[in-house]
Amino acid sequence: MYHEEFVYNGFTGSNLAVDGAARITSTGLIELTNDTARVKGHAIYPSPLRFRHSPDGMVQSFSVSFVFGILSSFGDIRGHGFAFFISPSEDFTEAFPIQFLGLFNSLNNGSSYNHIIAIEFDTIQNIEFADIDNNHVGIDINSLNSLKSHTAGFYSNGKNGTFINLPLIGSGPIQTWVEYDGNTTQINVTLAPLAMGKPAKPLLSSTFNLSTVLKEKSYIGFSSSTGLSTGHHCVLGWSFGMNGPAPLIDYTKLPKLPHLGPRSPSKLLEIILPIASAVLVLAIGTTAVILVMRHLRYKEVNEDWEVEYGPHRFTYKDLFHATRGFNSRNLIGIGGFGRVYKGIIRTSKTEVAVKRVLYNSEQGIKQFVAEVVSMGHLQHNNIVKLFGYCRRKGELLLVYDYMENGSLEKYLYGEEGRTTLDWGQRFKIIKGIASGLLYLHEEWDKVVIHRDVKPSNVLLDKEMNGRLGDFGLARLYDHGTDPQTTHAVGTIGYLAPELVQRGKATTLTDVFTFGIFILEVTCGRKPMTEDNQGHQVMLVDWVIQNWHSDSLLDTVDIKLQSNYDINEACLALKLGLLCSHPFPDARPNVRQILQYLDGDVPLPDLLPAHFSFHMLTLMQNEGWFGSSAVSLYPSPSMPGMVRLSFLLKLLFSLALSLVSSTTDTGKDQFVYSGFSRSILDLDGAATITPDGVLELTNHTVHIKGHAFYPSPWLLRKSPGGMVQSFSVSFVFGMVPIYSDKCTDGMTFLISPTKDFSGAQASQYLGLLNKTIDGHKSNHIFAVELDSSQNTEFGDIDDNHIGIDIYSLTSTKSNTAGFYDDRNNGIFKNLSLVSHKEMQLWVDYNGETTQINVTLAPLRLTKPSRPLLSTTYNLSTVLEDQSYIGFSASTGPINSLYCVLGWSLGVNRPAPLIDIAKLPKLPHVGPKSRSKLLEIILPIATAIFIFLVGTTVILFVRRRMKYAEINEDWEAEFGPHRFSYKDLFHATDGFKNKNLLGLGGFGKVYRGLLSASKLEVAVKRVSHESQQGMKEFVAEIVSIGRLRHRNLVQLLGYCRRKGELLLVYEYMSNGSLDKYLHCEEDKPTLNWAQRFQIIKGVASGLFYLHERWEKVVLHRDIKASNVLLDSEMNGRLGDFGLARLYDHGTDPQTTHVVTCGQRPINNHADDSSQILIDWVVEHWHEGLLTYTLDRRLQCNYNSDEVNLALNLALLCAHPFCNARPSMRQVIQYLNSEIPLPELIPTNISYTVLGLMQNEGFDQYASLPSTVGSSGMTSSLSSGR
């Protein structure tokens, strides 16, 4: 029996025959291929081995073992594999690389004359060879279509024999055993990681008589190849045994696999890097990760304009955690501009609603600005409170008070699980919203026009009080200015006619929407509905129609089942009609509305008209009535004329819009400057991105994609005629994922079908397959843009353009480039795979049958000389009806083939593509490593250590200088928090020249905020005293959330260790007492200014007592606590002693306030005179006006003076039940109700006060005709 064996524990000094790219390295391993593309390499035992005893004998048993490794410079990028083979020849010069593994070519693959057996280790899936995957082992007989194959791996030797996958690339050294039994003709192939030992169960086992394949003498060896993707295929050891087992390979003597990838760092870097790493981990890991990454994760946007406004700013982190990461389970609705989430602020346990608005649209940012400016300052029982906000790049977040009962709309329209509202609740909500609108229109320091009053924007709190929300359309303007706007915004059905006609928003447009709101709440119907005939019915018209038919109450919501107050329902219906009157001058203002609802003033008579409000609106818009018309008179001839005119104008404008929006280009051309909203037929991996890029492939290997114009083109004038001239232009780009490599390419094509399901990917470009390539029945014309060289198709290189007819073997091709007209027509190469846009023109002349293909970089004019020019009669190729489009495919490297623009013209040039409108090519793949960083890093490490230390020291010192204190209780309140640094610079370091005065608890400084240029007053309070802390807490809680035109605004605060700082709005004219008690030669206030101040302070107190969500007792109303702004308006300030309590609770106090004593005048004889008694004394004598300030010099309104003095006496009455409420005070001052008659008494107010304190209430001589407000207040007056 013939025996022969050998073993190589490494290949140093061996005499193996190598060719192609193969070599034996200095370390002793066989490197079959390297990083060169499209090469092959072979390593062959130098002499042939006798596999038969005789030429006709049976092939003997043999056993082979070898250790190999496959490496890639680009991770798992593959190319293409290697094989152990037995062959009658050592000459493989005719073999192809790439998928043929250097063994066969396209002609002899599968031929029985090869007499070759091979074990392939394939790392690329080739569909033409029916590969099962891109990581398999196969037994090949004369062909690369494996006899049997299996995913690479091994079976464990345990009881279950579990299969374990083994990646061929990157798994390190792998040992393989190939065994053939000559008796049983069984072939076994076994794999395992090196040094593991041979598994008992082979990976592959097949029976095949090799006597029918192998020659008597044959060579054994290894073959490998690369394609466009490269790889290192290495053999470390090898043994062979004939008629016996292969000798064992000594693992300890094997060479090491080489390391691929970036070069090893320099010795200096190796020394410094460990030290630098420790510093970087400590410095960057702690500082950068904790500070920078934390900052970036919750990064926000803050602009100068936000500084002057006062809402509390939340951190994004707090809102993120409050809403559980904006979890969909916390989603409570979708508003006009974004989603709304329920959340719980962790620090205060407050339930909030967080509205998340996208920042991209101009509409979104306008809403945000409007809401922050308006709602951030608004405080009212019937207005949804804006706690604060947050701004990030790309999104806006508004934090509202959470209304647990949701919107009114859900109750009106019977959402399942919700009971309907009874009449009492509805009427209460109507009055509440009216109260809120009054605050917006008249009681705040700016007029706020809501513009969108409707049930979905009215939220219900836990007590079912209505609160007006969604100020996304709010617009602010100063009192007395003209509120012109440029857009009619709001909700259809609620828009006032003048707003639609002229785009002018006023308080009366809000009244209109409120009128519709009243009707909707009362009737339980939407503003616009459809009747049984499908006609649109407006709610206002429907109510008027029923009123005209004396059935007004039939419009009340049937769900109330007649359980309502008839008078209130009639009032609501008629008031709704009056408010929604089409003529603005006929509508009441909100103050009048409240008086009607409260029954203080009777509703004026309103008669139903024969015209619908809808028709009256049209008539007004057409100019039938003047804007001041109030009364409506029926005219039977008018409605028809109006409707006809309106319809004719509508149809005319619609026709114009249709004409202007349609462009008829005919069926001889089209142009796409980007593919957004285009209609193309796509299949496979093809997709159109949101920005309009046509991506034919994606990041997947071995896929194809197609995009076609949706309808076929008739390229012949008649069936069987000649193909007409046509011109095509398109802009494309090839985006590599790894380095500069792309596989395989793309084509522009004309085909009789859009069905390419049978086409293969990879080198077939999604057009053809191995069977039909070259068949004339294809009827395909294509221009290929090939980024991979395939020798089977005769490709000239891996960067070429080719004209393909029937086949991927190009009729003519050329390396990609252009002839530059700017440089005398010199040819310049272009790299197709460059991540740069290029433009291609394909022109066919139907008369001369000439095909021209021209390429150029984008924005370069079409070169005069084409890249390719050939003559071919396409009438012999194309069908009568053909589809045009693109095809692309990837091979072993995932690549992106994109089309950005496309145009075609038949019998005319292709239309110009608008380059300015083209989308950008996407950027993919890893970022290139900075060479500069590799050079500088060693030097920068030492500098970095020094800078980090210095920066930390400076940062700590700077932080200590401006250190602040922030406690949990502050989170639930809303004023803006200023940094101490800003306040320090605003007041020039709190210099004495900026000292305005000494307050009750600290010094007050004038300041100018650098960011907003806003003048402020900064009150600096000592932190040590308990008294100072109590004042601070009281002011933060009260002033920080109060907003009224007659209250001094607290813009914000700051807290440091040892001191508190309050930032107020600066009042340029100082306090009132400086004007009242000034020296004789100083200017004083005239009567009109004084009366305006009295009314203003009364309005502020009314807000504190009844309009805010809590009752606020000021306790220290005096002239020194009233500040005057630039327009001499009085503003009530100094809330240091304010105490808050909920509405309806008992406002008991525990301290006697010293500054609440009545003013006393000291005379020269040491006697004293109380101001109230002095005034009462003159009143008793009929000389009340003698008490008036003599500096007015009789320049005053006597009625107003008498009203003021009498009202002052009434308010200062010693018996609390005789005093009016602030609501009544306002009505007296506005002359809305007469002041009750007061009878002077001989007993002084001082004595009366003492009598009351002693229990003698029955001696009160002033009649108690004024209703009590039911609450206690400490009010004092200054003289």
| DSSP secondary structure code for residue 346 in this structure | T
The residue with tokens 């920080």 is 1040
The residue with tokens 């006023």 is 506
**Contacting residues for 821 by C-beta, under 8 A, at least 6 apart:** 861, 863, 864, 865
Q: Which residues pair with 43 in a beta bridge?
A: 18, 222
Q: State yes or no: 574 annotated in a binding site.
A: no
Long-range interactions of 942-948: CB distance < 8 A, separation 24+: 944/276, 944/279, 944/280, 944/283, 945/276, 945/279, 945/283, 948/279, 948/283, 948/287
Catalytic residues: 452
Q: Is 1095 left (phi over 0), alpha (psi -120 to 50) or beta?
A: alpha
What are the backbone dihedrals phi and psi of residue 1178, each rounded to the nearest 5 degrees, phi first? Answer: -65, -35
Identity of the amino acid at 16: L
Identity of the amino acid at 65: S
Distance from the first to the final alpha carbon of the chain: 135
Q: State yes or no: 1019 annotated in a binding site.
A: yes
**Token couple for 824:** 């005398």
- Residue 839 CA to residue 817 CA, distance in Å, equals 11
Neighbours of 75 (CB within 10 A): 11
Distances 291 to 280, 451, 940, 977 between C-alpha atoms, Å:
14, 43, 22, 21
- Residue 935 CA to residue 269 CA, distance in Å, equals 10
The residue with tokens 């009806």 is 881
The residue with tokens 């602030």 is 1222
**Token couple for 234:** 């290495």
**Token couple for 58:** 């049976």
| Degrees to nearest 5, angle at CA 1168 with 1162 and 1173 | 120
Within 13 A of 976's CA, how many CA atoms are on the CB side?
23
Q: Could you give the residue ranges of the DSSP H alpha helices within 962-1086?
A: 980-986, 1026-1038, 1073-1076
Neighbours of 678 (CB within 10 A): 15
- Residue 36 CA to residue 226 CA, distance in Å, equals 7
The residue with tokens 């802009």 is 731
- Residue 561 CA to residue 573 CA, distance in Å, equals 17
Identity of the amino acid at 898: C
CA nearest neighbour of 1029 among 1063, 1066, 1009, 1001:
1001
CA nearest neighbour of 1075 among 1088, 1090, 1064, 1065:
1090
| Degrees to nearest 5, angle at CA 819 with 813 and 823 | 160
Exposure string for 351-390, b = 16+ CB within 10 A, e = fewer:
ebbbbbbeeeeeebbbbbebbbbbbbbbbbbbbbbbbbbb
- Residue 1039 CA to residue 573 CA, distance in Å, equals 40
Helix/strand/coil for 260 = coil
The secondary structure of 1024-1093 as a DSSP string is SSHHHHHHHHHHHHHGGG---TTB--EEEEEEETTEEEEEEE--TT-BTHHHHS--TTS----HHHHHHH
The residue with tokens 């009106």 is 412
| DSSP secondary structure code for residue 1057 in this structure | T
- Residue 1078 CA to residue 97 CA, distance in Å, equals 105
What are the backbone dihedrals phi and psi of residue 1040, each rounded to the nearest 5 degrees, phi first? Answer: -60, -20
* Helix 613-621 with 539-548: angle, nearest 10 deg: 120
Query: Which residues are annotated as part of the binding site for ATP?
Result: 355, 1019
Query: Which residues are annotated as part of the binding site?
Result: 355, 1019
